Amino acid sequence: MLINKSFLITGGAGFIGSNLVEYLLENGASEVRVLDNLSNGYRENIEPFINDARFEFIEGDIRDLNTCKKAVEGIEYISHQAALGSVPRSVKDPIISNEVNITGFLNMLVAAKESPSLKRMVYAASSSSFGDSAKLPKVEGEEGKPLSPYAVTKWVNELYGDVFSKVYGFHTIGLRYFNVFGPKQNPNNPYAAVIPLFMKAAMEKKAPIINGDGSYSRDFTFVQNAIQANVKAMLATPDLDKHEVINIAVGERTTLIQLWDAIAAAAGVNIQPEFSPNRPGDIPHSLASIDKARALIGYDPKYTVREGIGITYEWFERKFSVGV
């Protein structure tokens, strides 16, 4: 399926991007190029591919249009993952989140739109676009108001995706990820997500800190489900005639307490969590409808949260034995 096809993965040294690169190379892609400035990604994530003749790394910044244009040259499929993630980071420094996530995104859209070789661009959107809407499950088209600078940036991406489709006839697909987790997600980053933090606590046999009383729930999504969505969105949509946004999740809700219990069970520890106040802007519950993704690209998540946690915990254990 991937033979004789060329891919550009922006943010390919990051968590989701490097898992996607690994999948593409393992499954026969003829060319995989990564554009990443290593601001939040890690050279070690791409080191295993450096000697593969089909792999190319461009260390560069999506805020520079010429860099984006060079990265896109000769490429057929783009998965645009580069962005500054994390709501708290965007609250601390909204200007840099805006520059990377909006200006950088716009640069990639322009570079892709002008490329004669390009067949499809997909990009990482976010469940944060549902904002303050309390309705469950979350269905595309039923968004509320954004709750953070990060959510604004991801929402603006979708607005640009729509406008590029209408104005230039350049059609992209936004993948609204819901709390993706898995191997290669760094727990030592100041803006680390909840699952790598819980994994680290379990490995160190320490109590995890839960913001709130543990009843908040999320549609946690194992990274291989997100990889499947990327590949299908890139390849299975030759007849796309407008901009589309689709939820990428499992359609299952797990509370933070249940999440900790599953991780503690995988680690074989019995430790009670500690609780701290809720974080401002955190919505109580998130659960996706994935009907649109199923219909549009044939998305069919293969991994449950529990399976994903088992695989991820094993990876963390291996990694920690040589140091993350």
Residues annotated as catalytic (active site), given as ranges: 150
6: its two tokens: 């060329």
19: its two tokens: 């898992």
Pick one of 85, 146, 183, 301: the residue that binds ligand NAD (CB under 6 A): 85
Q: Which of 9, 126, 16, 20 is nearest to 62 (CA)?
A: 9
126: its two tokens: 């976010």
Contact (Cβ atoms closer than 8 angstroms) between residue 303 and residue 259: no
Among the residue ranges 79-87, 204-212, 260-268, 273-281, the one whose residues contact ligand NAD (CB under 6 A)? 79-87
User: How many Å apart are CA 219 and CA 179, to the nearest integer?
Assistant: 7
Segment 27 to 56, residues that bind ligand NAD, using CB under 6 A:
35-41
Pick one of 2, 8, 16, 24: the residue that binds ligand NAD (CB under 6 A): 16
Q: Which of 157, 160, 155, 158 is nearest to 144 (CA)?
A: 155
Contact (Cβ atoms closer than 8 angstroms) between residue 173 and residue 125: no
173 beta partners:
122, 244
Pick one of 2, 6, 8, 14: the residue that binds ligand NAD (CB under 6 A): 14
Segment 92 to 131, residues that bind ligand NAD, using CB under 6 A:
100, 104, 124, 126
Among the residue ranges 23-31, 75-83, 196-204, 261-269, the one whose residues contact ligand NAD (CB under 6 A)? 75-83
| CB nearer to ligand NAD: pick between 59 and 274 | 59
Q: How many residues bind ligand NAD (CB under 6 A)?
A: 28
- Secondary structure class of 324 (helix, strand, coil): coil
| CB nearer to ligand NAD: pick between 183 and 273 | 183
108: its two tokens: 């990639």
Binding mask 240-269 for ligand NAD (x = CB under 6 A): ------------------------------
| CB nearer to ligand NAD: pick between 193 and 296 | 193
Among the residue ranges 8-16, 205-213, 252-260, 265-273, the one whose residues contact ligand NAD (CB under 6 A)? 8-16
**DSSP annotation string for 74-141:** T-SEEEE--S---HHHHHH-HHHHHIIIIIHHHHHHHHHHT-TT--EEEEEEEGGGGTT---SSB-TT
CB of 196 to ligand NAD, least distance (A): 10
Segment 162 to 181, residues that bind ligand NAD, using CB under 6 A:
177, 179-180
Q: Which residues here bind ligand NAD, judged by CB under 6 A? A: 11, 13-17, 35-41, 61-63, 81-85, 100, 104, 124, 126, 177, 179-180
